[in-house]
Amino acid sequence: MSQVESMLGAKILTPIRRGIEAAVAGPATGVRFLSVARRATATSAAKPGTETSPDIDVEEKLKEAFARGWSIIVWNDPVNLMDYVVYVFKAVLKMNEQDASRHMWEVHQKGKSVVGRETREKSELIVHRLRSFGLNATMEQA
């Protein structure tokens, strides 16, 4: 395997053909980290004179947590490039390079990977974003 081939590594299912193996040497993008939304914890006591209701806040947060029952799934396909898929996972899902690569390999080897679990609305948005990059993404109720 040539250096270019190993660098291209490079796709979900097929290697770049030799005829178009011009030197590819783009800079690696910086590592970004998965942004995990912190669930706000309800304050135990509202300040006097404010209308904050901690009970309602807790209830809403619990509802939100239970609503995150939709899995986002990315499926294997014969055309998308491995490096491209990793890039999209980093860009759309804010995964770090290691997690993005792990999910990409799972797609490649097992045919699919669950890349997130969200509320229905947020899952719809993420499926659309992944599909806008050409990835075969769907959602399922977990």
Partner 1 sequence: MTSEQFAPGQWRLSFNQPEADFLINVLARLGRHYQEDVSRMPPALRAYWQGTITRGEIAGKDDLKESQEVLAEARSELRGERLALVENWLRDYELSEERDPWKVEITTAERDDFVAMLNDRRMLIAAELGVTELDMEADLSQIANEARRTGILEIDVLGHFILVMLGPQIYRP
* Residue ranges that bind partner 1, judged by CB under 8 A: 7-11, 13-17, 19-22, 24-29, 73, 75, 77-84, 86-87, 90-91, 97-98, 100-102, 104, 120, 123-124, 127-128, 131-134, 138-141
CB of 51 to partner 1, least distance (A): 33
- Is the bond preceding 10 in cis, omega lying within 30 degrees of 0? yes
Q: Tell me whether residue 62 or residue 67 sits nearer to partner 1 (CB atom).
A: 67
Residue written as token pair 């947060």: 61
| Nearest to partner 1 of 42, 83 (CB atom) | 83
43 or 132: CB nearest partner 1: 132
Query: Min. distance of Cβ 59 from partner 1 in angstroms?
Result: 22
Of 71, 83, 73, the residue nearest 119 (C-alpha): 71
Sheet with strand 112-118: strands edge to edge: 112-118, 70-75, 136-141
Q: Which is nearer to partner 1, 27 or 49 (CB)?
A: 27
* Shortest reach from residue 117's CB to partner 1, in Å: 14
Report the half-sphere exposure of 54 (CA within 13 A, side-chain side): 8
Q: How far is the CB of 33 from partner 1 (least distance, A)?
A: 13
Least distance (Å) between residue 5 CB and partner 1 = 11
Question: In whole angstroms, what is the distance from residue 5 CA to residue 18 CA?
Answer: 8
How far is the CA of 42 from the CAs of 50, 58, 59, 61, in angstroms?
14, 6, 9, 9
Cα torsion for 138, 140, 77, 131, to the nearest 10°? 10
Nearer to partner 1, 44 or 141 (CB): 141
